[in-house]
Structure 1
Amino acid sequence: MTTAIRPSIERKLDGQLLLPGDTGYDESRTVWNGMIARRPRMIIRAASVEDVVTAVRTARELDLEIGVRCGGHSSIGLAVPQDGLMIDLAPLTGVHVDPDRRRAWIQGGALLGVLDQASQRYGLATTAGNVSHTGVGGLTLGGGMGWLARQYGLACDNVASYTMVTADGEVVRASQTERPELFWGLRGGGGNFGIVTEFEFRLHPIGTRTLVAEYTFPLDRAIPALKAWRDLNIEAPREATFTASIGQDNAATLGFVWVGDPQRASRLLHNFQALGTPAATHITEMSYLDLQRREDTVERHSLRRYSKGHYLQQFPDAAIEAFVHRGGSRVGVGLQAYGGAIADVPDEDAAFSHRATLFEFGTGTTWTDPASDAVRIAAARRSAAAMASFAHGVYVNALSDEGAEGVRRAYSPAKLARLIALKDAYDPHNVFHLNQNIQPSTGRDQ
């Protein structure tokens, strides 16, 4: 049936319709997690807002489940619907920067590196994650942590307006003055209400220079070093984002990322002597663009992956010990500091929750052999469970397979009720449910 109606769909498109067997079909359905091998009935590579409208209406006419792909970083492959219609936003990568107004308009299929490169030409930037091949849409709609967040807020705090295609195929705009309730929900509520085809961001004059400080300790000396690192974080300047990680090599790396004039980090570097004597020290100055590309992975769309996360409002000694021991597993764990401008935003201003977070905790593992799936996933779950008693909520973008329980952890009860009401208004039949789903009170129609 799909082949028979192909001409009628293609006549309406500026972009491309891909069916199984077409050149480009397998490439388009391949996402960051190599465990995902689902096969959509059709893929529409949208080259215009009108294509997104056509794709939504086509899916509804054919009663096909909708998946929306931008960067493809969902750990459980939510972009790829089995036997459904995948809307691939990858062709929508246009960006325009107005340096005088300090504004950037970027289409919903762009990756963060596109936004960084366009704005850095003028020494400007906005909070845009830590990995340049992440999609602007998925990151921003869930909140959007990044190296600039302690100075300027989350990515969603820097959005001035959204252009969105609704479940009915209508194109709407949301800002503080236009559809303010939708604007509130898009700032942290994920892809539950529609498909955002353009973001308008506020930019900030950050210059182009950064510094990364890393101090590596053997595991048997990690606990006292982490205690000193935690205490230094209390008074950290907003230019600094503290980080800590333990890899599969059982070495603990503690430090910070500084965005701004590296010379201004000299006092903090001196204070890091309180951590003790590290086995290795790396102090590196680099451009902001290089910082944003630093954690990119060449093999990003081939490895099998599983991850979990928590928000921590405190990091007591017992939590430090649990962090180091990782539930007896050897999977990687990491911490990234919040605070600063993130906490300055009143909690009621956006759907994003848990602004009192001190650190975000993440644990994850990568592998290649499908026979190792169960063992690897169990190890990551043990590591996350070891930190669960210290957790206070979770970042919605860090959720994997937790389902409704995870969504309840991501939002306060009051915000979740407000999000459900917004879902009832914009997507009462839950057309957009391949996400960390806010289920409407009216139920599903699939």
Structure 2
Amino acid sequence: MTRAVLEQTIGGDVLAPGDDGYDEARTVWNAMVDRHPRFVVRCSDAADVAAALRYAREHDLEFGIRCGGHGIVGHAVPDGGLMIDLRPMGAVVVDPATRRARVQGGALLGALDVATQEHGLATTAGNVSHTGVGGLTLGGGMGWLARRHGLTCDNVVSFEVVTADGSIVRASAEEHPELFWALRGGGGNFGVVTEFEFVLHPEPGRTIAAEFHYPAAVAAMPMRRWRDLSATAPREATFTATISGQDVAVGLVWVGDPEAGGAAIAELDRELSAVAEPVARVVEPMSYLELQTREDDLEGHTWRRYWKGHYFRALDDELLDLVFERDEPYLPDVSLQAYGGAIADVDDDDTAFSRRDTAFEFVAAARWRDPSEDEARMSAARRYAGAMERFASGAYVNVLGDDGAAGLRRAYSDEKLARLTAVKDAYDPDNVFHLNQNIRPSAR
């Protein structure tokens, strides 16, 4: 197994321990992930991906796929294996006439947002610009436009995919339709996506973020009112809530006409203030690009991280009481984000993504710097989120961590798992792609 043989087949760069750029390449978003691949292959095109994949299989090397590196588990970084680094493949090409974007597999959300907003267009993308387009889309893709335009995966027209045998295929509604179905929510189980084609929507890029802050001791009733109002919110509004320490913020993010947004926020303020006066109001008009980058520093790459998440069809009072039981040390921060709208318009059978009847996504996310706190932080997050699991209707596959097969059963129904397994049997019967939230082929 020699580096020279690998370099002869790759148009991009090959990095090994000690090389300039190697440590940067192996460093991902979660600072708990500190692994050392034997090689990092910085791919320049789909042919490089296919060559790297063949090399890994021929030499019995574990391999992982890196784009943004935001996966909480760090599957992209195989210790002693081969990392396929897609980041050199980061181009975004927009056709404003057809309202389509071709996005290479290593692109980050920020590149997609900038390129599309130049033409007054956008498609649903996540909330942190240094997230990879690939991982977000393959798991589903929630963002501020989802209640208007559907999830990121709902806006994919086609995928270019390198499959387990090194073939390069295009998956769409007409070509490889079962693979196309599985890639929209089934994660990285079926191949390496080297190009996405997205449908775009006219979006002038005007947004408002509004937060109303309360001490935790008096926040329960305002949050109940916020929950009730979310059920009838316009699709331009995504209701959000966060709990950090003893600070509770409830509000919404509006993407659309600013006058209508201002009226919706004023109405929310009146309704909340009738229950309890907030200690602070934060209302920020901003561009769509500013909205898409405002959490970049908070979600930076230098923190140790762990999270647990749930989907809820409703936030009943008993569940919210549990959310506010925050007396022990090291409790994680909480975020709640409303679903519904265009997400629920898509029939659940149309894509691998599941649980479209979700009303709210809940994430308990811990971040810290001291490695000595690892077990205490993770245990607290497990206990806190575990107390609410009996109310959950499932979980988002992109938020699964160390959940194994039990996590997959939360993310997909039995029927969906059976269909995904059939696609796995057809495209990856040897489970070559297993460093992921793994859907095993039936023979394994």
Q: Equivalent residue for 1:414?
A: 415
After TM superposition, the structure 1 stretch with the greater mean CA deviation from structure 2, 414-423 or 374-383, is 374-383
Structure 1 unaligned residues grouped into runs of 5+: none
Q: Equivalent residue for 1:373?
A: 374
Deviation at 1:300, TM superposition (A): 2.0
Paired residue type of 2:37: P
Deviation at 1:301, TM superposition (A): 2.0
Distance in 2 (CA, whole Å) between partners of 1:132 and 1:255 is 22
Question: For 1:269, which of 257, 265, 268 is the aligned residue?
Answer: 265
Deviation at 1:265, TM superposition (A): 1.4
Query: Which residues of 2 match residues 241-320 of structure 1 at below 5 A?
Result: 241-248=238-245, 250-272=246-268, 273-276=270-273, 277-297=277-297, 300-320=300-320
Distance in 2 (CA, whole Å) between partners of 1:275 and 1:224 is 9
Q: Equivalent residue for 1:22?
A: 19
Q: Equivalent residue for 2:232?
A: 235
Q: Deviations over 1:233-278 (max 9, x none)?
A: 0110000000001002x11000000001211113322321211210
Structure 2 unaligned residues grouped into runs of 5+: none
Q: Deviations over 1:294-315 (max 9, x none)?
A: 1112772221100010000011
Q: Which runs of 4+ in 1 moved over 6 A?
A: none
Q: How many residues align?
A: 439
Query: Which residues of 2 match residues 39-438 of structure 1 at below 5 A?
Result: 39-248=36-245, 250-272=246-268, 273-276=270-273, 277-297=277-297, 300-326=300-326, 328=328, 330-438=331-439
Contact persistence 1:41–1:83 (CA under 8 A): yes
Deviation at 1:328, TM superposition (A): 4.0
Distance in 2 (CA, whole Å) between partners of 1:398 and 1:155 is 16
Deviation at 1:283, TM superposition (A): 0.7
Distance in 1 (CA, whole Å) between partners of 2:83 and 2:262 is 49
SS at structure 1 position matched to 2:208: strand
Q: Deviations over 1:382-436 (max 9, x none)?
A: 2211221210100000001001110111001000000001001100111110000
SS at structure 2 position matched to 1:198: strand
Query: What is the root-mean-square deviation in Å for CA atoms of aligned residues?
Result: 1.1
Distance in 2 (CA, whole Å) between partners of 1:45 and 1:331 is 35
Contact persistence 2:128–2:299 (CA under 8 A): no
Contact persistence 1:326–1:384 (CA under 8 A): no
Question: For 1:11, which of 8, 13, 16 is the aligned residue?
Answer: 8
- Tell me the TM-score normalized by structure 2: 0.97
Q: Deviations over 1:335-369 (max 9, x none)?
A: 00000000000111000000000000000111111
Distance in 2 (CA, whole Å) between partners of 1:206 and 1:95 is 18
Deviation at 1:144, TM superposition (A): 0.3
Distance in 1 (CA, whole Å) between partners of 2:356 and 2:392 is 14
Q: Deviations over 1:110-130 (max 9, x none)?
A: 100000000000110000011
Paired residue type of 2:267: N
Distance in 2 (CA, whole Å) between partners of 1:334 and 1:318 is 18
Paired residue type of 1:183: F
Deviation at 1:8, TM superposition (A): 2.1
Paired residue type of 1:246: I
Deviation at 1:221, TM superposition (A): 1.2
Percent pairwise identity: 59
SS at structure 1 position matched to 2:440: coil
SS at structure 1 position matched to 2:388: helix
SS at structure 2 position matched to 1:305: strand
Paired residue type of 1:255: G
Contact persistence 2:138–2:187 (CA under 8 A): yes
Paired residue type of 2:364: T
